[in-house]
Structure 1
Amino acid sequence: MTEEQFFDRLGKQYAQNLPFVAYRKPGENSGTAFLQKSAEIFYSEELTEKGFVFAPFDDKEQKFLIPEKGSEKIIFETSGLTSGEENPSVDAPSEADNPAKEEHVSLVKSALEKLKSGELEKVVLSRKEEINIPGVDPVELFRRLLKTYPAAFVYLWYHPATKVWLAATPETLLKVEGNRFKTMALAGTQKYQGTTEVEWRDKEKQEQLFVTDSILKNLEKAGVSTEEIQRSEVYTTKAGNLLHLRTDITGQIPSTKFQIPNSEKAGVNALVAALHPTPAVCGLPKKKAKEFILSEEGYDREFYTGFLGELNLQKNIQRSRTRRNVENLAYRAVKQETALYVNLRCMKIEDDTVSIFVGGGITKDSDPVAEWEETVNKSQTMKKVLFK
Structure 2
Amino acid sequence: MITSIIENKSSRQNLWNAAKNLAFPTAIWRLPRQSEKHFLTSFEEIPQQSKIDFEELGAGFAFSPFVNPDGGKTFFLKADLHYIFNANESTQNEDFKEVISPSALNPHFIELMNGEIQALKSISDNKTTNQHTTKQEFIDLVEKGIAEIENGIFQKVVLSRTKQLVLPPDFDVVATFDKLCKAYPSAFISAVSLPHLGVVWMGASPEVLVSQDSEGIFRTMALAGTQSAYDSDGKLIKPSEALWRQKEIEEQSFVTRYIINCLKKIRVREFEEEGPKTVIAGNLMHLRTDIIIDTVAINFPQLATVMLDLLHPTSAVCGMPKIPATEFILSNEGYDRDFFSGFLGPVNIQSSEGQVESHIFVNLRTMKIEGNVATLYAGCGITADSNPEKEWNETEMKTQTLGKVLNSEF
Structures share a fold, TM > 0.5? yes
Q: Does 1:189 align with 2:189?
A: no
Tell me if the contact between 1:124 and 1:281 (Cα under 8 Å) persists in the aligned partners. Answer: yes
Residues 229 and 283 in structure 2, CA contact (< 8 A), matched pair in contact too: yes
One-letter amino acid of the structure 2 residue matched with residue 183 of structure 1: T
- The verdict on how the C-alpha distance between 1:189 and 1:299 changes in structure 2, with shifts beyond 3 A counting, is same
Cα drift, residue 19 of structure 1: 1.2
Q: Give the paired residue count.
A: 346
* Match among 189, 197, 205 for residue 249 of structure 2: 205
Quickly say closer, same or farther: Cα 1:372–1:219, change in 2 above 3 A: same
Which range moved further: 335-344 or 17-26? 335-344
TM-score (norm 2): 0.79
2:76 to 59, 62, 65: 65
Q: How has the CA–CA distance of structure 1 residues 172 and 78 changed in structure 2, closer, same or farther, with 3 Å as cutoff?
A: farther
CA distance in 2, matches of 1:137, 1:123: 36
Q: Report the equivalent of 2:361.
A: 341
- Provide the identity percentage: 37
Shift, 1:41, TM fit: 2.3
Equivalent residue for 1:243? Answer: 285
2:136 pairs with 86, 89, 102, which one? 102
Pairwise CA distance, 1:45: 2.5
2:163 corresponds to which of 114, 129, 141? 129
Kindly report which structure 2 residues correspond to 1:24-35, keeping only aligned pairs within 5 A, or say none.
24-35=30-41
**Residue identity matched to 1:24:** R
Q: Which amino acid aligns with 1:203?
A: K
Alpha-carbon distance in 2 for matches of 1:15, 1:140: 18
**Is the 1:153–1:168 contact (alpha carbons within 8 Å) kept by the matching residues of 2?**
yes
Give the 5 Å matches for 1:103-182: 103-133=137-167, 135=169, 136-162=171-197, 163-177=199-213, 178-182=215-219
Q: Normalization by structure 1: what TM-score?
A: 0.83
Equivalent position amino acid for 2:181 in 1: L
Unaligned 5+ residue runs, structure 2?
1-6, 93-131, 231-235
In structure 1, the gaps of 5 or more residues are: 82-97, 259-263, 318-333
Q: C-alpha separation between the residues in 2 aligned to 1:99 and 1:269? A: 35
Aligned residues: CA RMSD:
2.3
2:396 matched to 1:352?
A: no
- Deviation of 1:141 (Å): 1.8
CA distance in 2, matches of 1:161, 1:110: 37
SS in structure 2 of the partner of residue 232 of structure 1: strand
Q: Per-residue deviation at 1:275?
A: 1.1
1:111 positional shift: 0.2
- The residue identity in structure 2 corresponding to 1:229 is F
Instruction: Indicate conservation of the 8 Å contact 2:252/2:288, yes or no.
Output: yes
Deviation at 1:237, TM superposition (A): 0.2
Superposition deviation, residue 146 in structure 1: 1.6
Whether the aligned pair in 1 keeps the contact of 2:20 and 2:195 (CA below 8 Å) is no
Match of 2:273 among 217, 231, 251: 231
